[in-house]
């Protein structure tokens, strides 16, 4: 049953942990979610001489992209568990929409991109399921 859980729930939960713990730990002193997400965790010197600063938001987005790839691979499955996965992905999309629209720390570009990835997962799952079911059902188009 754990295989039915959408993988994109991991970055959504990580975002919640990072932003909410950062906002709560701040005591509400006004540090925004963008500042928490963009605060460099480490930096990598580049050949150009510039430093590439990587923040928590960047790492969450990277993880989201990798997990989206695996979710798209999972959506090609025509097993019954895929239907549960699609339903859970839809619930995750609704949760992301509610958080993005109603909670202060979630109105960021990082969370918008995570939500877009969840939307793409939902769309891909339904489109692949519809296409594969059309191939399984022959409506007599060749007659």
Domain span at residue 101 reads: 7-25+52-135
pLDDT tier, 116 (very low <50, low <70, confident <90, very high otherwise) = very high
Task: Judge whether 130 lies within some domain.
Answer: yes
Task: Judge whether 63 lies within some domain.
Answer: yes
pLDDT over 90 percentage in the chain: 53
Task: Judge whether 44 lies within some domain.
Answer: no
Number of domains in the chain: 1
Task: Judge whether 78 lies within some domain.
Answer: yes
Task: Judge whether 14 lies within some domain.
Answer: yes
pLDDT tier, 29 (very low <50, low <70, confident <90, very high otherwise) = very low
Give dist(CA 27, CA 14) in Å, integer.
Answer: 20
pLDDT tier, 3 (very low <50, low <70, confident <90, very high otherwise) = confident
What pLDDT is attached to residue 28? 52
What pLDDT is attached to residue 24? 73
Task: Judge whether 45 lies within some domain.
Answer: no
Task: Judge whether 90 lies within some domain.
Answer: yes
């Amino acid at each position: 049953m754990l295989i039915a859980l959408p993988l994109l729930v991991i970055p959504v939960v990580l975002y919640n942990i990072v932003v909410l713990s950062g906002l709560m730990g701040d005591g509400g002193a006004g540090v925004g979610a963008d500042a928490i997400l963009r605060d460099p965790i480490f930096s990598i010197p580049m050949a150009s001489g510039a430093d590439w600063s990587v923040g928590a938001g960047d790492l969450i987005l990277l993880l989201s992209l990798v997990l989206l790839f695996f979710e798209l691979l999972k959506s090609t499955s025509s097993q019954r568990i895929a239907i549960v996965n699609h339903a859970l992905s839809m619930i995750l999309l609704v949760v992301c929409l509610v958080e993005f629209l109603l909670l202060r720390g979630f109105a960021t570009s990082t969370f918008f991109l995570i939500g877009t990835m969840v939307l793409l997962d939902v769309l891909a799952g339904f489109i692949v399921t519809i296409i594969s079911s059309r191939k399984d059902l022959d409506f007599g188009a060749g007659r």
